[in-house]
């Protein structure tokens, strides 16, 4: 009996029904991107993930009809707090595709201001030394973003807890609210490195084998799609001593194992 779609969802498994039998299937998840065809007459593109995120194209910004994409990646305050404490808060990362494209007239981008954490932190949207900074990255393709602070050259307008500004080029944009404005790019780069790590679901199994009464060998297996009984350890007379539940691991990040008791 096949599992129901609901059961598969809990196991984070995707069922594919097909009449063809290709060599490979690839299931790719990504941040949702909203897109639309926009031409010389102009138009508006809004995000369905973060509705306040918007791109307004005036008449004449484009000379021909093209498909424009808008992606808003929300920030999780818990992750930001884990990395930076209360040093900064962030808006969603907003990406306009195709990137690195110049417009014939400036378009208007709207992004919600960073939400302050529950702890005491002032939002400095004015005064002599504003703490809100606008960051931009014009890297294209799958190249990781290289952030730069463009606040000094980009006037910001505040309306209904959102910031609007104009741009002549499509890129990634990000708002950061931090008191140490000279550290804004450093803080953003730290958070960005964490959020672009690819997550995998894996299971860890630990095997043990005693060579003599006072020495043993442990092997830890990280499995994403294999069965325990196929492992080399079983064939070498290792015994399973511990098994994890399914856990999410991040590509390129260290993993820690706590050991206690008589292994």
DSSP string, 9-72: HHTT------SS--S---------EEEEEE-TT-EEEE-SSSTT-EEEE-TTS-SS-EEEEEEE
Higher pLDDT, 246 or 191: 191
pLDDT tier for residue 150 given thresholds of 50, 70 and 90:
very high
Q: Which residues contact 208 (CB under 8 A, 6 or more apart)?
A: 216, 217, 218, 219, 238, 239, 241, 263
- Give CA–CA dist 55/76, Å, rounded: 23
Residue that wins the pLDDT comparison between 76 and 231: 76
Alpha-carbon separation of residue 94 from 33, 85, 117, 221 (angstroms)? 10, 23, 21, 38
Instruction: Return d(Cα 248, Cα 203) in angstroms, integer.
Output: 9
123 pLDDT higher than 70: no
What does the angle CA 259 – CA 194 – CA 25 come to, to the nearest 5 degrees?
A: 90
Which of residues 229 and 211 earns the better pLDDT score?
Answer: 211
Could you give the domains of the chain? 33-195 (2.60.220.30), 199-250 (2.60.40.2660)
CA distance 245 to 119: 34
pLDDT of 128 strictly over 50: no
Single out the residue of 46, 49, 51 nearest to residue 74, CA to CA: 49
């Amino acid at each position: 009996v096949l599992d129901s779609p609901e059961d598969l969802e809990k196991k984070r498994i995707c069922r594919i029904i097909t009449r063809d039998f290709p060599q490979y299937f690839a299931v790719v998840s990504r941040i949702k991107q909203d897109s639309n065809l926009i031409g010389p007459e102009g138009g508006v593109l809004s995000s369905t993930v973060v509705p306040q995120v918007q791109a307004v194209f005036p008449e004449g910004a484009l000379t021909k009809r093209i498909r424009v994409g808008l992606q808003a990646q929300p920030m999780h305050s818990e992750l930001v707090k884990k990395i930076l404490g209360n040093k900064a808060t962030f808006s969603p990362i907003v990406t306009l595709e195709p990137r690195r494209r110049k417009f014939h007239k400036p378009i208007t981008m709207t992004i919600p201001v960073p939400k302050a954490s529950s702890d005491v932190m002032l939002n400095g949207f004015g005064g002599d030394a504003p703490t809100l900074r606008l960051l931009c990255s014009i890297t294209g393709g799958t190249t990781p973003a290289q952030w730069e602070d463009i606040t000094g050259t980009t006037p910001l307008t505040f309306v209904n807890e959102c910031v609007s500004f104009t741009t002549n080029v499509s890129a990634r944009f990000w708002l950061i609210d931090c008191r140490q404005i000279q550290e804004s790019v450093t803080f953003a780069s730290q958070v960005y490195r964490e959020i672009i790590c690819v997550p995998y679901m894996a299971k860890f199994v630990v095997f043990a084998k005693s060579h003599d009464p006072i020495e043993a060998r442990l092997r830890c297996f990280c499995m994403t799609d294999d069965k325990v009984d196929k492992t080399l350890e079983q064939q070498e007379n290792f015994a399973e001593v511990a098994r994890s539940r399914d856990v999410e691991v991040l590509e390129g990040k260290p993993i820690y194992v706590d050991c206690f008791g008589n292994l």
